[in-house]
Amino acid sequence: MSPKIKALNLTLISLTIILLLFFVVKSIKISPFSPATTSLPSIQSPLEWSASDYPTKTDWNTASSYCAGLSNNLGQYPYVAWRLPTIDELVTAHNTTSTPILKNWFYWSSTEVSSTSSTSSLSYDLDMTTNISSHPTIFNKNLPDDYARCVRSITITAPDAPTDVSATAGDSQALISFTAPLSNGGSAVTYYTVTSSPGNIIATTSSNSATVVGLTNGISYNFTVTASNVVGMSTNSLVSNTIIPVMKLAKGTRSIPTADLYCSGILNTYTTPSPTFAGGDGSSGNPYQISNWSELNNMRDNLYAYYILTTNLSSTTPGYSGIGNNWTPIGGCGDPFQGDFNGNNKTISDLVTTIYSNVGVNNFKNKLSGIAENIIEIFIPNKAIAAKGGAGGGGGGPQYTACGASVIHSGAHIMGVTSGLFGYLSGNVHNLGLINITVNQGAVDNVGAIAGVLWSGNISNSYATGNVTGDMGAGGLVSDMGGDSTITNSYSAVRVISYFGCGGIAATLESGTSTSTYWDTQVSTQSTSAVGVGETTSQMFDSSTYTGWDTGIWNILDGSYPTLN
């Protein structure tokens, strides 16, 4: 064969190979992908792809303009403008099954290259098997050679904090509601976290409310909420309102020992009338509003409701005459107050009570006239009262000690009755100031400024000043504590006098606890109390005495007693 023929044959073979390679490349298509999606594949791949290709092959300039012109309102994430993908993004699209299906052979990329032609650009050739690393091809970008699929970068952050956090008290729990954050950061909120203060008790939820359980009745709580998405957790919300969990008893029941014969045999006569208040419906979320003495007096018509004091009450407030200056304690032996009274950092001043609450089968007068005053003991079921001049003891219960010798003992005594703002208190009283209160019950046992008997009830962030006088058991805030009662962050500057049994805070403690509670030993004339810590007047005027008290609730200054903000 001549050299010329050999050269021609080699040329033909070379052209044939080139043509075969070209048509093979054009004919082979990629394997099918999973269904197309416009959603974010994952946080590791923060791209949103357009739902479909440009409908036909086009040139680079048209493809680029097409992407830039897509509506910026499309999609569900924060983003920058639509654009052509880079070569690497096309490679990832080929190798990641969760990206959209790329159906065609060649796709324009955003990358331009320097070559002999100033109009050239890189295109991506999808004619390979899976897991290729890169296969760019140079095309003249002014020719309609390739297809276009658009992408845009997504910016995802942690959500904003939830707003409008509101707390509603329950029995050892609270219902927290809130509004979703203004921005979810570009990714749906997966859950919310509610945290209590104090205690850091946590509840999580995927809705806009959560119930935090395991709270302590009688303790003030507030709450914050965070929102979380795939990136992370938001900052804390603003703090909720402050609530105090309430122990709610079934109507007609009371958590006192059956051996306590103060109340044995008494039928509960509770009904539900429709008393008049300034507003509210008596629920935890919408308590009855009290703005005058008549409305305060109406609390006795519903001993299980929620109440809030909306203004300070004093001798100048309407209804004082006949009510405030002749007060009948709320809640008695068979019908203790079991609701929630939120003083709302307001005060009740000048209240005077010379009336005692209802008594039960032990409603009788123990005639002592004609009996020598140095009698050793007077026995009452489950109680032993040590008389003036006697030794005390016996009876199987707590004992009063002689005190307040200046009180005139009439020789007549009414047992099983109580007096104060409340008679028997088995609910909550909080954020209340009693100023210049007068409880004068010379022939009654169990008298206190806030309540005669606190049984499985709670008093917190409250105080009292004035005078309490009884015959057999008197305390600055309460006389007798029992059940799982608590007194927290409260104080008394009340002068306490009783023929038998006195206490700066409480005269007797059958059970219950007291935390950060103080009484003025000089003003009260009492050096002892069943609960609390006694301080001199100068110590009561020292702000360091009240370490740990919430200054959001209390105004604590040197030189005076604390007041409620």
307-335 pLDDT per residue, tens? 999 999 999 998 999 999 999 889 887 78
| pLDDT score for 98 | 54
Residue with the larger pLDDT of the pair 219 and 554:
554
- Give the range with max mean pLDDT: 343-352, 391-400, 434-443: 343-352
Contact call for residues 334 and 266 (beta carbons, < 8 A): yes
| pLDDT score for 518 | 97
Mean pLDDT of the chain: 74
In whole angstroms, give the CA distance from residue 288 to residue 294: 13
CA-based radius of gyration for the chain? 40
Structure-block tokens of residue 380: 């009452």
Residue with the larger pLDDT of the pair 392 and 425:
425
Backbone angles phi, psi at 467, to 5 degrees: -140, 135
Contact call for residues 514 and 532 (beta carbons, < 8 A): yes
- Give the range with max mean pLDDT: 76-80, 235-239, 259-263, 401-405: 235-239
CATH number of 163-228: 2.60.40.10
Q: How many CB atoms lie within 10 A of CB 326?
A: 13
| pLDDT score for 386 | 31
Confidence label for 5 from pLDDT (cuts 50, 70 and 90) = low
| pLDDT score for 399 | 41
Is 90 exceeded by the pLDDT of residue 505?
Answer: yes
| pLDDT score for 402 | 45
The H or E element that residue 67 is part of is helix 60-68
Mean pLDDT value of segment 44-63: 79
Mean pLDDT value of segment 475-481: 92
Is 80 exceeded by the pLDDT of residue 205?
Answer: yes
| pLDDT score for 53 | 84
Backbone angles phi, psi at 514, to 5 degrees: -135, 135
Q: What tens digit of pLDDT does each residue of 119-130 get?
A: 555 555 544 333
Mean pLDDT value of segment 35-47: 40
Mean pLDDT value of segment 221-237: 93
| pLDDT score for 341 | 96
Q: How does strand 340-349 pair with strand 306-309?
A: parallel
Structure-block tokens of residue 539: 């110590």
Structure-block tokens of residue 286: 């919408």
3-state secondary structure at position 551: coil
Q: How does strand 478-482 pair with strand 136-140?
A: unpaired
Is 60 exceeded by the pLDDT of residue 1?
Answer: no
Note every long-range contact of 376-382, with CB atoms under 8 Å and residues 24 or more positions apart, other chains counting: 378/413, 378/472, 380/415, 380/416, 381/259, 381/260, 381/261, 381/262, 382/257, 382/259, 382/260, 382/261, 382/262
Confidence label for 273 from pLDDT (cuts 50, 70 and 90) = very low
In whole angstroms, give the CA distance from residue 357 to residue 303: 14
Mean pLDDT value of segment 457-483: 90
Contact call for residues 212 and 199 (beta carbons, < 8 A): no
Mean pLDDT value of segment 285-293: 92
Is 90 exceeded by the pLDDT of residue 546?
Answer: yes
* 223 contact partners, CB below 8 Å, separation of at least 6: 165, 167, 174, 176, 194, 195, 196, 197, 212, 239, 240
Task: Residue 501: name the closest of 525, 473, 479, 529 by CA.
Answer: 473
Confidence label for 558 from pLDDT (cuts 50, 70 and 90) = very high
Is 70 exceeded by the pLDDT of residue 387?
Answer: no
| pLDDT score for 495 | 94
Buried b / exposed e over 346-376, threshold 16 CB at 10 Å, is: bbbbbbbbbbbbbbbebeeeeebeeeeeeee
Contact call for residues 482 and 508 (beta carbons, < 8 A): no
Is 80 exceeded by the pLDDT of residue 340?
Answer: yes
| pLDDT score for 42 | 34
| pLDDT score for 304 | 86
Q: Which one-letter DSSP state was computed for residue 545?
A: G
| pLDDT score for 48 | 77
Confidence label for 32 from pLDDT (cuts 50, 70 and 90) = very low
Residue showing tokens 């038998």: 500
β-strand partners of 430 = 342, 460
| pLDDT score for 315 | 95
| pLDDT score for 101 | 65
| pLDDT score for 247 | 58
Q: Considering the chain, what percentage of its residues have pLDDT values greater than 70?
A: 65
Confidence label for 405 from pLDDT (cuts 50, 70 and 90) = very low
Torsion, Cα of 383, 387, 389, 392 (10° steps): -10
Is 60 exceeded by the pLDDT of residue 38?
Answer: no
Q: Out of 200-204, 305-309, 413-417, 496-500, which region has the weakest mean confidence (pLDDT)? A: 413-417
Residue with the larger pLDDT of the pair 90 and 366:
90
3-state secondary structure at position 168: strand
Residue with the larger pLDDT of the pair 131 and 245:
245
Residue with the larger pLDDT of the pair 206 and 253:
206
Q: Considering the chain, what percentage of its residues have pLDDT values greater than 90?
A: 38
In whole angstroms, give the CA distance from residue 554 to residue 535: 19
